[in-house]
Amino acid sequence: MADELTVEQVADAMYNMIKSAMGEKKLKPMDLQKAMIEHFGADRCDKKLCKEAIKSLIDSSRCVYTYFGGSFIEIPHEEGAAKG
Amino acid sequence: MANGQTPKLDKLDKGPWPSFVREIKRAAEKSPMSKDLLGLLELSYTEKIGHWKHGGIVGVLGYGGGVIGRYTDVPDKFPNVEHFHTMRINMPTGWFYTSKALRTICDIWEKHGSGLTNMHGSTGDIVLLGTRTEELEPIFSELTKEGFDLGGSGSDVRTPSACVGPARCEWACYDTLALCYDLTMTYQDELHRPAFPYKFKFKCAGCPNDCVASVARADMSIIGTWRDDIQVDQSAVKEYSDKGLNIQKDVCGNCPAKCMDWDGQKLDIDNRSCTRCMHCINAMPKALRPGKDRGACIMLGSKAPIVEGAQLSSVLIPFMKMEPPYQELKDLCEKIWDLWCEEGKSRERVGEFIKRVGMGNFLEAIDIEPSPYQVAYPRDNPYIFYEEYFEEGDDEEEAGEE
Ligand code: HEM
Ligand code: HEM
Ligand code: SF4
Ligand code: SF4
C-alpha cells in the first residue's frame, strides 16, 4: 500500500488543475474527481476523498461554485456577469 | 421606461383579474428594486429584447445552490436592479405554514430584497425574487436562525417536494411528508453541493392522482400505489347507482384496463388487470378505496423541454414498500447516481441518459431485473430485450457484429 493521501493533498492538486484550466475550460466536480483518481491511482484516491477535498476548497473560500447552465468549481474572480 | 411611465404594462393591469403588474406596482411603492423592475420590463416590451443576464458566482459560503444569479445588462438605466438574484428557500413539506412563519419570511425579504415572492414556484420551494449579492449572507443567516434553509438549484438534488399526503388526504398510500423530509435531510450534501451532471428532482405523490405532478416534473417520481385488491363496499356502490350515477358508462366505461363490470347489483373488479389509475376510486370515493398492501411505484426520467423534448417518468420499480429508513430506495438512488455521474454528459438529465444508453443497458448497470412493467409508453411495446426469445445461433451473430 502506497503512503496515505491527505484531503489537503488532493485539494491542492485540484486547485492546481482548476488554476491551469482557468479561462480555457470550466470544470465540474466529476471532472476533478475523475482526474484525481487517474492521477493518484484508484488505490490511493477514491470518491469520498475527492468529495472531502472539494468541501475543503469551498469552505476555505479558495474556490467557489459558479453556475452557467450547469454547476462548476472555479477560483474566485471578478464577477463577469455583473459588469459590462 | 426610465421616466417612470409604463404604458405597455399598464394594459396588463386593466380589468378585474389578478395581475402581476398590479402586484409589482404595489411593491414598488416601498421598494426601489420593484420600481426599476417595472421600468426594465417596460423596456423589454418596447424593444422586444430581454435584459436579464444570468449565472455567475453568486451564492452563500459552502453552498453551490439556492441562489440564482440575475443581473441586468442596462444597469445605467435601472441601477436598482443591477443585481436581482433569486433565492430558493426550502419550503415546509406539504406546504404547511403557520402565519407567523410566513410573516417571518416576508419580513426578512422586505428588509433585504425586493419584497416580491413567488410562493412555491414550479419546483415547489419558496421563491424570493430580487436581491443584491452583498445581501445574500445576511439573509441566509437570518433565515437559518429562524429554522429555514436554502433549497437546490444548479446541478444538484433539487428541493424535494411532496403532496399533502396523509396529513389531509385519505388516498395517500404512504407517508409522503415523512419520505420527503427524510430525503431532504439525508441528501444535504447532494442538495447544497452540486456534483451531478445536471439537476435531480424527487417528488413524492401519495397516490396515482399525483397532485405534485411528479410524473412530469421529477427525475425520480415516487407515486403511492397498492399491490392487493381495491377495497369495495358493495352497498355504497349500490347507493351511488340509486342516486343516479351511471356506473356502467361513467365508471366501468372509463376504466382504462376495461377490468370492471357492473351488473346492476354487484361491482366486479379483475384486480390482476387493474392499472391502479384511481379513476374508479375518484368517481366513487365512498364506495372504493385503495388496497391495504400499500407502497409506491418508483418511476424515473421526466423533465421539461430544455436540452431535449419533454419526457414523462416511466416505471423503474413497480412496487416498493415505503417505510423508514427507506434503505431500499436510498440504495437504488445511490446506484443510479453513481452510474449517471460517471457516464452522464454535462446537462444530461437522467431520463435523457437512459434514452442514450438504452433502458436495457441502464437496468443491467444498476442491477435491476427487467420487467414487463417497464414500458416506454403505456399500452405500447416493452423496450426490454428478452434474451430467452433468442435462438442459440442469434447470440453468436450478435457477438460477431461487435
Ligand atoms: C418561454 C417560456 C418559459 C421559459 C423561459 C421557462 C423557463 C424555465 C426555467 C428557467 C426553469 C427552471 C429550470 C431549472 O430549474 O433549472 C423552468 C422550469 C419549469 N418550467 Fe418553465 N419556462 C417557460 C414556460 C413554461 C411553461 C409554459 C410551463 C408549463 C406549462 C413550464 C413548466 C415548467 C416546469 C414544470 C418546470 C420545472 C419545475 C420544477 O422545477 O419542478 N414552463 N422553466
Ligand atoms: C389530483 C391531483 C390534484 C388535486 C386533488 C387538486 C386539487 C385542487 C383543488 C381542490 C383546487 C382548488 C379549486 C378551487 O378553486 O376550488 C385546485 C386548484 C388548482 N390546481 Fe390543482 N389539484 C391537483 C393537481 C394539480 C396539478 C398537477 C396542477 C398543475 C400542474 C394543479 C394546478 C392547479 C391550479 C393552477 C389551480 C388553481 C386554479 C384556479 O383557481 O384558477 N393541480 N387544485
Ligand atoms: S396525490 Fe393522491 S394522496 Fe396525494 S394529495 Fe393527491 S389524491 Fe391525495
Ligand atoms: S383503478 Fe383504474 S384501472 Fe383499476 S379498476 Fe379502477 S378504473 Fe380500472
Q: Considering only residues B397 and B337, tell me which one the structure prediction assigns the higher pLDDT.
A: B337
Q: Give B1's pLDDT tier (boundaries 50, 70, 90).
A: very low
Helix or strand (DSSP H, E) at A11: helix A7-21
B27 Cβ inside 6 Å of ligand 4: no
pLDDT tens, B86-141?
999 999 999 999 999 999 999 999 999 999 999 987 788 999 999 999 999 999 99
| pLDDT value, residue B187 | 98
User: Phi/psi of residue A66, each to 5°?
Assistant: -130, 165
Please report, rounded to a whole number, the percentage of residues in chain B having pLDDT higher than 70.
93
Does position B401 have pLDDT exceeding 50, yes or no?
A: no
Partner-chain contact A71 B341, CB within 8 Å: no
Q: Where are the beta strands (DSSP E) in chain A?
A: 64-68, 70-74
| pLDDT value, residue B397 | 39
Q: Give B389's pLDDT tier (boundaries 50, 70, 90).
A: low
| pLDDT value, residue B396 | 42
Does position B364 have pLDDT exceeding 50, yes or no?
A: yes
Among B195, B252, B63, B50, CA closest to B141? B63
Mean pLDDT of chain B: 92
| pLDDT value, residue B2 | 52
| Atom nearest to B124 CA in ligand 1 | 41
| pLDDT value, residue B376 | 66
Q: What is the count of residue pairs from A and B with beta carbons less than 8 Å apart?
A: 80
Please give the span between the terminal C-alpha atoms of chain B, in angstroms, as a whole number: 64
Question: For B220, which DSSP code?
Answer: E
Q: Where are the beta strands (DSSP E) in B227-287?
A: 231-232, 260-262, 267-269
User: Phi/psi of residue B3, each to 5°?
Assistant: -80, 5
Q: Give B374's pLDDT tier (boundaries 50, 70, 90).
A: confident
Q: What secondary structure does DSSP assign to B144-174, as a single string?
A: HHTT--B---SSSB---EE--GGGT-TT-SS
Burial class (CB in 10 A: 0-12, 13-18, 19+), B202: buried
Partner-chain contact B55 A81, CB within 8 Å: yes
| pLDDT value, residue A77 | 84
- Reduced to 3 states (helix: H, G, I; strand: E, B; else coil), residue B332 is helix
B213 Cβ inside 6 Å of ligand 2: yes
Lowest mean pLDDT among A63-67, B175-179, B277-281, B325-329: A63-67
| pLDDT value, residue B147 | 96
Q: Which residues contact B268 (CB under 8 A, 6 or more apart)?
A: B260, B261, B262
Q: Give B54's pLDDT tier (boundaries 50, 70, 90).
A: confident
- B134 interaction partners in chain A (CB closer than 8 Å): none
Minimum-distance CB partner of A30 among B58, B195, B347: B195
Cα B372 to Cα B273: distance, rounded to the nearest angstrom: 13
* Contact indicator for B62, B24 with CB cutoff of 8 Å: no
Among B314, B398, B302, B323, CA closest to B363? B314
Ligand nearest to the CA of B275: 4
Q: Which residues contact B212 (CB under 8 A, 6 or more apart)?
A: B124, B161, B162, B163, B203, B204, B205, B218
pLDDT tens, A39-60?
999 999 999 999 999 999 999 9
Average pLDDT over residues B252-264: 96
Average pLDDT over residues B35-56: 94
| pLDDT value, residue A82 | 56
Helix or strand (DSSP H, E) at B67: strand B67-68
| pLDDT value, residue B394 | 46
| pLDDT value, residue B388 | 57
Lowest mean pLDDT among A17-21, A76-80, B82-86, B182-186: A76-80
Q: What secondary structure does DSSP assign to B118-151, as a single string?
A: ETT-SSSSEEEEEE-GGGHHHHHHHHHHTT--B-
Look up residue B33 and give its three cell numbers: 428594486
Q: What is the pTM of this model?
A: 0.83
Distances, alpha carbon B362 to alpha carbons A84, B152, B316, in Å? 45, 26, 11
